[in-house]
Amino acid sequence: MNAASYLAGMALISLIAIPALAAFEPSRTADGKPDFTGVWQVLNTANDSLEAHAGRAAQVLRPGPIVPVPVKELVSLGAVGAIPPSLGVVEGGSIPYKESALPQREKNQKDWITADPEVSCYLPGIPRATYMPYPFKIVHNKDALLFSYTYAGAVRNVALADPGPAPIDSWMGQSWSRWEGDTMVIETTGQNGRTWFDRAGNYHSDKLTVTERFTLTSEHTIDYSATLDDADIFTRPWTISMPLYKRVGADKNMLIFNCVEYVEEMMYGHLRKEPVQ
């Protein structure tokens, strides 16, 4: 037997001996849809900035004697206030802002310490609630789809059919779900335009439509994407994507980070008869 025949025979034996990997089959609800119930969390820094960026000393910098340094409010945070580098989660690399919308993003970046809704513990909106650095819970069955978030006790009760236009704008908007095969698609409209996408000042108007797609890729992972469409701010729809990871063991018990009480001094302390210095 020559070398070529030997190698061909070994390849055939390998194909016979190794069974084909079975496609992942998710747990399903009573109506046959994939069951997304669980506590999930991202493992990225998209909340710092959706776009790729280098590490830097703080979210807001000022000119220094040699290189930029943190603004005085952030100097004492040291490494805790630093921004780690990121490859970004925006498909195509950058957010397609209209030229007329860029000045507002620049202003947001400059005023981050006081302007970011997260600083004041306002509800995060969609999609930011998904990739904040806290877990969130999905409760899913054939009759209900509920998202409960650690941050600020935010919740999202997702309608199972199109309810029509939102009766009023709100921080979390109005969401409804449909299915594309085994992919759960959630469309959200009616957000009030006051939330940001991240701490880097990326923002939207009240015309934003968010189309999220959730696909279970294993018992512990979701392939997540969100397409953002806002003709007032962007030149075209654009998409972010990332994996979501399921928490297990004791970590699947989600606690609520009720941050409202923690910002009272920042927001209302100046109203004291004798303000704290």
- Quick one: pLDDT at residue 242? 98
Cα dist from 69 to 15, 200, 254, whole Å: 60, 17, 37
Domain harbouring 147, CATH code: 2.40.128.20
The reply to whether omega before 127 is within 30° of 0 (cis) is yes
- Quick one: pLDDT at residue 22? 66
Same domain? For 157 and 77 the reply is no
Same domain? For 224 and 242 the reply is yes
Same domain? For 119 and 232 the reply is yes
> Could you report the per-residue pLDDT of 159-214, keeping only the tens digit for each?
999 999 999 999 999 999 999 999 999 999 999 999 999 999 999 999 999 999 99
Provide the domain limits for residue 97. Answer: 27-52+87-271
Interatomic CA distance for residues 203 and 91, integer angstroms: 17
pTM: 0.89
Q: How many domains does the chain have?
A: 2
Same domain? For 200 and 216 the reply is yes
* Alpha carbons within 13 A on the beta-carbon side of 93: 0
Confirm whether 5 is domain-assigned.
no
Which of 68, 85, 102 is the C-terminal boundary of a domain? 85
Calculate mean pLDDT across residues 122-151.
96
Calculate mean pLDDT across residues 262-275.
87
> Could you report the per-residue pLDDT of 27-39, keeping only the tens digit for each?
999 999 999 999 9
> Could you report the per-residue pLDDT of 152-161, keeping only the tens digit for each?
999 999 999 9
List all residues 6 or more positions away from 19 whose beta carbon is below 8 Å from its beta carbon. none
E strand segments, the chain? 38-41, 61-62, 69-70, 136-141, 144-149, 155-157, 174-180, 183-189, 209-218, 221-229, 238-246
Same domain? For 120 and 181 the reply is yes
